[in-house]
Chains A and B, each alone.
Chain A
Amino acid sequence: MKDSLVLLSRVPAHPDSRCWFLAWNPAGTLLASCGGDRRIRIWGTEGDSWICKSVISEGHQRTVRKVAWSPCGNYLASASFDATTCIWKKTQDDFECVTTLEGHENEVKSVAWAPSGNLLATCSRDKSVWVWEVDEEDEYECVSVLNSHTQDVKHVVWHPSQELLASASYDDTVKLYREEEDDWVCCATLEGHESTVWSLAFDPSGQRLASCSDDRTVRIWRQYLPGNEQGVACSGSDPSWKCICTLSGFHSRTIYDVAWCQLTGALATACGDDAIRVFEEDPSSDPQQPTFSLAAHSRQAHSQDVNCVAWNPKEPGLLASCSDDGEVALWKYQRPEGL
């Protein structure tokens, strides 16, 4: 287990500050990082080293909490505590601000692009989730304001292939939304976590959703369509979601992020105990009641809380992480033999 997660490189990405989030571009060649220093940095390789290719220092007045690349890779969205979301267009080596999305009453906590590239979602401490439509002329329009959560919304993520949106909240729940007759509605609420849900990740097929929480567990939820074989009840035409697995006893503090590798199915977590863990599903386990084993555990991956883990979308086993210590680290993960 010790050798399954090997450190490749460590970069002081946001010195004297904390690094909150990381995002790989769709091509897997660039890594965007953002932090408490209000900056966004773009990292790439030059030979064997990771170097900073660009810095975006104007644009936000407060912490940049999350960044997200558009599916085409030409745009980067940044969500900030200054209550705005900026959209940046990538030119040769630079980034130019295309527009600033305003409307949230306070800190924007997350931003995510739908796989189609035409929709964007943001969420905030103001308890709402906003859905934005973007047209060919780079015009952004808010098409829905969803007020389903009763508290601060921490994270939003889109389904890998459907126009289905998921959100995680301080109210301890996960909610799912879809478009119904020209409006967006909340179609499911996943209850079970006993404290703030910090992050979410869909599995490669989109049939399962992983959530991680301040309650120190990861929960795996499965979608059951109406008329399913397993006899899981659905109301009307909406699918039902059921918690099919809970990973507890592995993490000793809040789990801030979970990432599901779209290439290999490995599940990585970022924890407040400074560690990174990777879980693999047992190949012989029942799909309705899967079991996961701890495949790698880097105890002191960082010197402070790990805030984010992100799998490279093209290179299997390449994992990036970042921490309150301001550093970004790159790891090579290899599934241990016999697991």
Chain B
Amino acid sequence: MERVLGLLSCTLSRALWSSGLSEQGAARQPRIMEEKALEVYDLIRTIRDPEKPNTLEELEVVTESCVEVQEINEDDYLVIIRFTPTVPHCSLATLIGLCLRVKLQRCLPFKHKLEIYISEGTHSTEEDINKQINDKERVAAAMENPNLREIVEQCVLEPD
């Protein structure tokens, strides 16, 4: 039912646009972004916390509203995630950032650029952590560390 409504809404906005009554793409864009954001959220919510036997969704480290997707151009999107770490512990926050990046790098089907941040005000060294998790060279090197890699692999493993 939702899909049918979605299609109708697309058709309607396209009709509005071609009749000159609506800005090109404006009515259509928010829907695409929401769908894309949900696609992203679906991939990250099942990631397990490095310490606790719960998913990031269960611990509210990530929520639907923490994902924002902007269109860069046709077929290319900017994905921004703001997550809330459970404890103000540096290495765990960095580890969660790493898991988010790895999961999306591997599983997100559409072309995208990714920015990951700790949600404001939730950590004392958030600037430091944000800089690290958005430095792709640091991320790549970290993933070549076998111990770290093992932890990340366990966290991003798809549930059976």
Contact = CB atoms under 8 A, between A and B. Distances in A.
Contact of A196 (B72, B135, B144): B135
A196 B141 contact: no
A214 B137 CA distance: 12
A263 B138 CA distance: 34
Contacts of B135: 170, 196, 214
A196 B131 contact: yes
Contacts, number: 32
B140 A253 contact: no
Contacts of B136: 305, 324
Contacts of A273: 72, 113
Given A253-B113, A272-B113, A195 B131 contact: yes
Given A195-B131, A272-B113, A152 B144 contact: no
B141 A81 contact: yes
A152 B113 contact: no
A273 B111 CA distance: 12
A154 B140 CA distance: 14
Contacts of A154: 137
Contacts of B141: 62-63, 81, 106-107, 125
B17 to A, nearest CB: 25
A104 interface: no
Contacts of B144: 62-63, 81
B45 to A, nearest CB: 26
Interface in B113-152: 113, 131, 135-138, 140-141, 144
Interface string A20-58: 000000000000000010000000000000000000000
A87 B144 CA distance: 22
In this complex, the member of B72, B131, B137, B138 whose beta carbon has the largest number of chain A beta carbons within 10 angstroms is: B137
Given A63-B140, A196-B135, 10 more contacts: A62-B141, A81-B140, A81-B141, A81-B144, A109-B137, A154-B137, A170-B131, A196-B131, A272-B113, A324-B136
CB-based closest 10 A-B pairs = A62-B144, A107-B141, A81-B141, A81-B144, A63-B144, A63-B140, A253-B113, A196-B135, A36-B140, A125-B141
Interface of A: 18, 36, 62-63, 65, 81, 106-107, 109, 125, 152, 154, 170, 195-196, 214, 252-253, 272-273, 303, 305, 324
